[in-house]
Amino acid sequence: PACSDLKKLGEKIGRKRVDKYGDTVISEPVAGDGFRRRHDEIKGKLLSLLKWSGIDVECEVFNLFSGLIPQEGLNRLERGRKRQGILPDFRIRSSVPRDGVGSGGAAVSESRLAELKVLSSCPTRYARAPRSRVKAVKRRADQLPIEYLKHARKVDTEYGGVKEGTVGPVEAKLASFPRIEGWVFGKWGECSPDVHNLIREMAKSRISYQQELERKEGRRTKEVSDSASLSVLTGQIRRGLNVMAVRS
C-alpha cells in the first residue's frame, strides 16, 4: 500500500523520470511557486541597480496600453494583470552620451520597454541533440519582439474591434518604442546581449550621476579616469547580477 500511495503522489507531482543530471527535476513545475520567486528576485535586483545608477525606471508598467482598449473590450478582459492588455516588466528612460562618458558627445534620451525572462534547464530551451549554435538566452530574447507584436494585434482584434490586417491603437503604441529589449537569464548564469548592453549603460549612467552629485555639492572629483571607473563599475554590476541569477 505504501508503494502504491507513493506512485500516486509521484504522478501528481510530475510525470517525468529523474535523468542523469537532475534537469527534469529542476524544470518540472511543482508546488511552491519557485519559478515566480526566481523571476521576482532577479527583477528586484535589476530595479535596485537601475535606481542606483540614476536611470529613470518604472517596474510593472501599468496603464500603458489599457487606455487604448474600448470599455466594451475591457469588460470582457479578466481582472488584474490581464486587464492591462500588455504589461511590460520595465520601462526605462536614460540620457547617456552617445560617445561615452566624458566625451562631450550629445546625450541621447529615449524611453524603452524591456521584458525579463528566466530559463530553466529544460529540453525546450536547452536542446541536447541537435545542439544549437545560438545561445538559448539569445534565442529567447529574439522571440520577445515577435511575441509582443502578435499579442498587441490580438488585443486590437479581439478586444478593440480592429479588423485583421489593420494597425490598431495598441500596435501603434507598441511601435512608438524603439523595440522590446529581452533581458534573459539562463540556467547556467549566462545572459542575453541586451543584458550586457544594459550593464555597460548602467555603469556609464552611474559615473555621470556621481559627477553631477559632486558638482552640486561642491566636492572635488577624484583623480581617476573615466575609463578606469567604467571598468570597475561594469565588473561590480556584472558580478552582482550574476550572483543573484545563479543563487535564485
Residue 225 sits at φ, ψ, to 5 deg, of -70, 155
Rg (CA), the chain: 22
Residue 83 sits at φ, ψ, to 5 deg, of -70, -15
Cell of 168: 490598431
- pTM, to two decimals: 0.79
Query: pLDDT (tens digit, 9 = 90+) per residue, 134-176?
Result: 899 999 999 999 999 999 998 888 888 888 888 999 999 999 9
Number of Cβ within 10 Å of residue 150's Cβ equals 11
Nearest to 19 by CA among 147, 159, 151, 122: 122
Query: pLDDT (tens digit, 9 = 90+) per residue, 1-31?
Result: 555 555 555 555 556 778 887 777 777 766 7
According to DSSP, residue 84 is labeled G
pLDDT of residue 11: 54
H or E segment and range at residue 52: helix 34-52
H or E segment and range at residue 159: helix 136-159
pLDDT of residue 2: 55
Residue 70 and residue 159 in contact, taking contact as beta carbons nearer than 8 Å: yes
